[in-house]
Amino acid sequence: MKALIGLAAAAVAALTAGGITAALPGTPTGADPAEAKTTRVRVTAVVDGDTLRVEDLSGRPLGRVRLLGIDAPEVAHPPAPAECYADQATGLLEDLAPVGSTVQLVADSGQPDRDRYDRLLRYVDHDDVDVAHELLDRGAARRYEAAQDLAREDSYSAAADDAQEADRGLWGTC
């Protein structure tokens, strides 16, 4: 089995080096091969600036989803007060992925499926917008430093750098 996996990895590397991108099954054409499984779900709640509650399209609750690659300021958890810009980040996530809307959850094969709080770790796309990228670009979140080797790393880093340089969002407020 290890030999088969190694052979497949070598084949993908050879194709990629030649300018050809091999898509994994279930990966939209043109998507990064590290972006594996995509699932359409309905947003049932916005928990904070980087966490949603979702259900499948038949109404079965799937739990919480933590947006990959970002870290938004923490909302109040009494007795601890909310961090600076937490309310604005939560409000922006509510605008970008409104309750009742259908969003795409996209797994990253290079990342764990769940975090230590049992939240799904996913990219979230709504109406062709990468929600985490938009939060970074508007300065409502920082890059999650523990997340390395993300499929969307370059895009996320550039958005975060641009927001910080322009003092957008939390960068100009906190």
Q: Domain ranges for the chain, please list them.
A: 31-173
**pLDDT at position 5 over 90:** no
What residues have CB less than 8 Å from 89, skipping those under 6 apart? 48, 49, 50, 72, 73, 135, 140, 141, 169, 170
Kindly state the helix (H) or strand (E) to which residue 58 belongs, with its residue range: none
CB neighbour list of residue 80: distance below 8 Å, 6 or more residues apart: 74
Query: Residue 145: which pLDDT band, with cuts at 50, 70 and 90?
Result: confident
Position 18 scores a pLDDT of 33
Using 50, 70 and 90 to split pLDDT, how confident is the model at 147? low
Q: What is the pLDDT of residue 63?
A: 97
DSSP 72: P
Interatomic CA distance for residues 65 and 115, integer angstroms: 10
Q: What is the pLDDT of residue 100?
A: 98
Architecture of the domain made up of 31-173: Beta Barrel (2.40)
Q: Is 52 helix (H, G, I), strand (E, B) or coil?
A: strand
What's the rounded Cα separation, in Å, for the pair 81 and 37? 37
The per-residue pLDDT for 32 is 59
Residues 6+ apart with CB under 8 A from 70: 50, 132, 135, 136, 141, 142, 143, 144, 156
Strand-pairing partners, residue 38, are 106
Q: Rounded to two decimals, what is the model's pTM?
A: 0.80
